[in-house]
Structure 1
Amino acid sequence: MREEQEELRDSLLLDIYGGLLTQKQREALHMQLDLDYSLSEIAENQGVTRQAALDAVKRGIARLRELEKSLRIYERFARSMGVLARMEALAERQGNQEMLEALREARSIWED
Structure 2
Amino acid sequence: MLEKVAWMNMLFDFYGVLLTERQKDFMDLYYCQNLSLGEIAGEFNVTRQAVYDTLKRAEQVLSQYEEKLGLVTKSTAERNKLATAAAMLEEYETVKSDGRVQQARKIIEEVLEM
Deviates more, 1:99-108 or 1:29-38: 99-108
Residue in structure 2 matched with residue 31 of structure 1 by the alignment: 29
Provide structure 2 residue ranges, at least 5 long, that are not aligned to the other structure.
Answer: 94-100
Name the residue aligned to 1:56: 54
Alignment-derived partner of residue 106 in structure 2: 101
Inter-partner Cα distance in structure 2 for 1:105 and 1:40: 41
Regions of 4+ moved over 6 Å: none
State how many pairs are aligned. Answer: 107
The one of 18, 21, 28 equivalent to 1:20 is 18
Partner Cα separation in structure 1 for residue 112 and residue 9 of structure 2: 20
99-108 vs 50-59, which deviates more? Answer: 99-108
What one-letter code is carried by the residue in structure 1 that aligns with 2:19? L
Question: What displacement does 1:26 show?
Answer: 0.8
| Long gaps (5+) in structure 1 | none
Range with bigger deviation, 4-13 or 97-106 = 97-106
Question: What residue is the counterpart of 1:70 in the other structure?
Answer: 68
TM-score, structure 2 as length reference: 0.89
Tell me the percent identity. Answer: 28
CA distance in 2, matches of 1:22, 1:38: 20
Aligned to 1:42: 40
Give the whole-Å Cα distance in 2 for the aligned partners of 1:44 and 1:14. Answer: 23
TM-score normalized with structure 1 length? 0.90
Task: Map 1:3-14; keep pairs closer than 5 Å.
Answer: 3-14=1-12
The structural deviation recorded for 1:106 is: 2.5
Report the residue type matching 2:84 in the other structure. Answer: R
> After superposition, what is the alpha-carbon deviation per residue over 1:15-57, rounded to whole angstroms, capped at 9, x for unaligned?
1111000111111011110111111111111221111111111
* Aligned-residue offset at 1:75: 0.2
Deviations, residues 68-110 of structure 1 (Å, cap 9, x unaligned): 11111100111011001100001111112021012123223xx
